[in-house]
A and B are shown apart, each in its own frame.
Chain A
Amino acid sequence: MSPQNGASNPNVIGESPIFTPRVINDIHAKAELGRYRMRGFSMFKPIPHWDQLMFMPGTLTRFVIEGYREKCETKTVLGARFAKRPLELDIPIYVTGMSFGALSLEAKMALAKGASMAGTATCSGEGGMIPPERDLSTKWYYQVIQSRYGFNPHHLMLADAVEFFIGQGCKVGLGGHLMGQKVTEQVAEMRSLPAGIDQRSPARHPDWLGPDDLSLKIQEIREATDYQVPIQLKLGAARVYDDVRMAAKCGPDIIYLDGAEGSTGAGPHIATEETGIPLMAAIPEARRALEDVGLADEIDLVVAGGIRNGGDVAKCLALGAKAVAMGHSMLMALNCNKEIPGVTDYEGTIGVKAGSCYHCHTGRCPVGVATQDPELRKRLVVDEAAERVYNFLHTLTLEVQMLARACGKTNIHSLEPEDLCALTTEAAAMAKVPLAGTTYVPGVTEERALSEIKSLLAKHVANEGGRDV
């Protein structure tokens, strides 16, 4: 009689949950390569995520709003603090900065056109401005990034908002990466680099080091742009409370927080897995910081990182974000990870199935999104892709509205932490909302109980003192 599986084979003791076949393979690969492994995409290991939060809509204790009939406002205004022209978006979602270089020209154009159709903004990303993207964007962020690749003050004057890139959630503390395959003559020229090099962008800005210098740098950009447009600081989520307090001190109009779930076009696998904190944990900390410095009503909070659907967007808004920026999901709307019969062959060309591709860094994107290869780029038809981007943005907004109306809100920005509960204690502790079916918020409940005990004790001591014992 032969054993059917390992469990019934008396010679097999078991297998390690720590040194899994994947871990062992990783060690083998590094022993061959002699360097860290690069990849694109989001986080691969499981972390607490938006799936662990639920909405608690109106029933009898809350009055619900009629779907399809009663208005639920989605207009979103960012940066009205000091800017003469705040950024007015029709929806609470915009397309985050992704560089020309990481993305193809066609991808940048389709995102710009789709976002404009939806009444929202796009962002230049790292590699400088490409005129077709600016032409197709009705609202456009220009990024002041560490490398300043292609940074041009004339382009700065064309911006509707300026974003200081200080870090990204996926690889907090690191600069950008663009592997040599994607550093074509055109990309290299825009960035003033030799063609074909493995480009590692600086992690620090060239002209300021700490928050005090950053205050002055913001002043410089405001002077150069005549206070016309909002200034946004993009931070990778790490020590959020202290970072946001410092960021607020620097005087921006908007603070953008990027959670660890965010994606990259190319990054060291070790950094994408091991840096940052989940967005769910970051938003309440950011709100607390803004309230503690007295600027919660003045500085707007934009968040990003691993947002997939209208539910995720609505949860971000409920926790205190004013708007949500999306990157990788927008690329999926363009066709990322989609097998197109007769056109793509993911397994044959990349070595993995569509749906499991994380090979943006190789420049061999089968759908023409994350590539500079002229033949692959032809696979992305700008107008059709723009339509899909618009459809996706529109659907996300409908989903947010649906949840907001169910929670009794006539404005999506009225969503609040009160509307949420958590499915796990971890999520409850991070998002600071109660565990479903209870009033328990880990950390907060204990803190309250402790302060109650302290005040009772103080009263008791005072009373005992009065009796002169």
Chain B
Amino acid sequence: MVAVTAGERGVRYDIRGLAEPDAVAPKIAKIDGDTAGFDAADLSPRQINLELRRLVYGEGIREVTIDNPGAKHSIAVGILTCCRIRINGSLGYFGCGLVDGPEIHITGRVGWSVAENMMSGVVVIDKNAGSLTGAAIRGGDLVIRGHVGARTGIDQKGGTIIVGGNAGATTGFMMQRGRQIICGDAGGGLGDSMYDGSIYVAGKVASLGVDCVEAEMTPADDELIDRKFRIYGMDRPDTFRKFTCGRKLWNYDNLEPSERKLVL
């Protein structure tokens, strides 16, 4: 149990010690015109976010650089405006979640659930990402130049996820809309129970999940992949296979007897 001081309301306790109700922005950023930067080495997640918000919302800064983020969790979340954020280092869980509009570049790695529920904008990660990458994203581009863990783009509702390396098991689980472009191999259960959307894989696919089927690549698919690779300056593998929803599970009360075992 960690004591969390809460001003006039007296001492309050939190078992994990994550709550920081009384933190204030440290105001340490060096501001130069509409750009700014600060060192996050000695700051808590709350202080980093308060400083970032102060710069973006309060000072009208359009480009912020954060050094030494130290793989802290919940950094740069809930940013709902257009701006550029460069993070020199790695993030922990839930980095850049719940954002709408910013362009974020992370030079290191990220933990679980990066950019979850992103509405629009761009998040580029130079190295690897953990599991649940881009969970439930609704728009924007999420680019991971390295490998990603399991269940990438779970519940994805829009946008594009690009993976330079391999993707783990159950990639695109229950995906609803949007696109995933995977340059390396995909783990078992690809596209399991997906409702809609497209997954492009250049490498090997260990196995397909329930109701995920291979579809024909069209010129429009190739054009989209070309365009995305041009934007992010990535090497495009020569050929991709496309996977979509088989649509057999859309209405489960009218399955044919032979299809019923799909849902077991």
Binding site for B on A (CB under 8 A): 33-35, 80-82, 84, 147-148, 151-154, 156-157, 180, 191-194, 196-198, 200, 202, 206-208, 213, 215-227, 248-251, 293-295, 298
Q: Which of B75-120 contact A (CB under 8 A)?
A: 77-78, 80, 92-94, 97-100, 112-113, 116-117, 119
Contact assessment for A251 and B16 in the assembled complex, using a CB-CB cutoff below 8 Å:
yes
Contact assessment for B21 and A227 in the assembled complex, using a CB-CB cutoff below 8 Å:
yes
Nearest-CB residue, chain B, relative to A248: B15
Given contacts A207-B132, A248-B15, contact A216 B74 (CB under 8 A): yes
Contact assessment for A198 and B252 in the assembled complex, using a CB-CB cutoff below 8 Å:
yes
Task: Write the B50-76 contact mask toward A (1 if CB under 8 angstroms, else 0).
Answer: 000100000000000000000001100
Most buried by A among B12, B100, B117: B117
Contact assessment for A153 and B176 in the assembled complex, using a CB-CB cutoff below 8 Å:
no
Contact assessment for B45 and A219 in the assembled complex, using a CB-CB cutoff below 8 Å:
yes
Q: 19 A-B pairs, CB-CB below 8 angstroms?
A: A35-B253, A82-B19, A147-B155, A152-B138, A153-B100, A196-B250, A198-B253, A200-B252, A207-B135, A208-B112, A216-B74, A217-B94, A218-B18, A219-B19, A220-B97, A224-B77, A225-B78, A251-B15, A251-B18
How far is it, in angstroms, between the C-alpha of A148 and the C-alpha of B176 when the chains are bound?
A: 11
Cβ 8 A contact of B16, one of A35, A154, A249, A298? A249
Contacts of A226 in B (CB 8 A): 53
Contact assessment for A294 and B78 in the assembled complex, using a CB-CB cutoff below 8 Å:
no
Contact assessment for A192 and B138 in the assembled complex, using a CB-CB cutoff below 8 Å:
yes
Binding site for A on B (CB under 8 A): 1, 4, 6, 9, 12-16, 18-21, 45-46, 49, 53, 73-74, 77-78, 80, 92-94, 97-100, 112-113, 116-117, 119, 132, 135-136, 138, 151, 154-155, 157-158, 174, 176-177, 195-196, 250-253, 255, 257, 260
Cβ 8 A contact of A251, one of B19, B46, B49, B151? B19
Cβ 8 A contact of B21, one of A84, A193, A198? A84
Min CB–CB distance B94 → chain A (angstroms): 4
Contact assessment for B94 and A207 in the assembled complex, using a CB-CB cutoff below 8 Å:
yes
Contact assessment for B12 and A156 in the assembled complex, using a CB-CB cutoff below 8 Å:
no
Given contacts A193-B176, A293-B15, contact A33 B253 (CB under 8 A): yes
Contacts of A152 in B (CB 8 A): 119, 138
Chain B: interface secondary structure? Answer: loop
Min CB–CB distance A179 → chain B (angstroms): 8
Contacts of B98 in A (CB 8 A): 153, 156, 220-221, 224
Contact assessment for A215 and B18 in the assembled complex, using a CB-CB cutoff below 8 Å:
yes
How far is it, in angstroms, between the C-alpha of A35 and the C-alpha of B259 when the chains are bound?
A: 12
Number of A-B residue pairs, CB cutoff 8 Å, is: 149
How far is it, in angstroms, between the C-alpha of A202 and the C-alpha of B73 when the chains are bound?
A: 25
Given contacts A215-B16, A223-B45, A224-B98, contact A197 B195 (CB under 8 A): yes
Contact assessment for A208 and B13 in the assembled complex, using a CB-CB cutoff below 8 Å:
no
- Shortest Cβ-Cβ A-B pairs, 8 listed: A224-B78, A207-B113, A206-B135, A192-B157, A207-B135, A153-B98, A220-B94, A148-B136
How far is it, in angstroms, between the C-alpha of A163 and the C-alpha of B263 when the chains are bound?
A: 31
Nearest-CB residue, chain A, relative to B15: A249
Contact assessment for B99 and A206 in the assembled complex, using a CB-CB cutoff below 8 Å:
no
Contact assessment for B155 and A148 in the assembled complex, using a CB-CB cutoff below 8 Å:
yes
Contact assessment for B9 and A80 in the assembled complex, using a CB-CB cutoff below 8 Å:
yes
How far is it, in angstroms, between the C-alpha of A198 and the C-alpha of B135 when the chains are bound?
A: 22
Contacts of A191 in B (CB 8 A): 176
Nearest-CB residue, chain A, relative to B46: A223
Contact assessment for A202 and B155 in the assembled complex, using a CB-CB cutoff below 8 Å:
yes
Contacts of B4 in A (CB 8 A): 82
Contacts of B19 in A (CB 8 A): 82, 219, 222, 251
Min CB–CB distance B165 → chain A (angstroms): 21
Contact assessment for B251 and A180 in the assembled complex, using a CB-CB cutoff below 8 Å:
yes
Contact assessment for A216 and B250 in the assembled complex, using a CB-CB cutoff below 8 Å:
no
Nearest-CB residue, chain A, relative to B260: A34
Given contacts A148-B136, A217-B94, contact A81 B12 (CB under 8 A): yes
Contact assessment for B14 and A251 in the assembled complex, using a CB-CB cutoff below 8 Å:
yes
Cβ 8 A contact of B77, one of A200, A220, A294? A220
How far is it, in angstroms, between the C-alpha of A207 and the C-alpha of B152 when the chains are bound?
A: 10
Cβ 8 A contact of B251, one of A151, A198, A293? A198
